[in-house]
Amino acid sequence: MMRFNLGRLIITPAALLGVDVEEIYYAIDRHVCGIWGNVSDAARTANESALASRAPLLSVYRLADGTALRVLTTGDRLTTTVDLPDERNLPTDTERTPKRTPKEFCRVTRNPAK
């Protein structure tokens, strides 16, 4: 169940290049449901408080290969960014984009289409 709106979704080129798109979708789905992943207890508590106070929400998911995937939603809930914490060291490929429509994305994440 969605606990907040994602707003505009931004996935950085490095995240698209370095992480399977299905894993990105799964991380976004967990984030919007309030499953914060591999964050500290303090960050988890801050996220729960942020749901009411409109502060930013941060999730970090450790993938099977050890890669960390970060999902951050702004306090105004207008933008959610998916990136890699260490992506400044990775090559980027700006031509790679998910090959799913918003309707297909919502089918994968089981969240209603807007």
The residue ranking higher by pLDDT, 109 or 52, is 52
Over residues 91-101, mean pLDDT: 44
Residue 99 has pLDDT above 60, yes or no: no
Can you give the pLDDT at residue 86?
76
User: How far is C-alpha 52 from the chain's CA centre?
Assistant: 19
- Sketch the domain layout of the chain as residue ranges: 8-92
3-state secondary structure of 42: helix
The pTM of the full predicted model, rounded to 2 decimals, is 0.76
Q: How far apart are CA 24 and CA 37, in angstroms?
A: 13
Contacts of 30 (CB under 8 A, 6+ apart): 37, 59, 61
pLDDT digits (tens, 9 = 90+) for 3-51: 999 999 999 999 999 999 999 999 999 999 999 999 999 999 999 999 9
Residue 92 has pLDDT above 50, yes or no: no
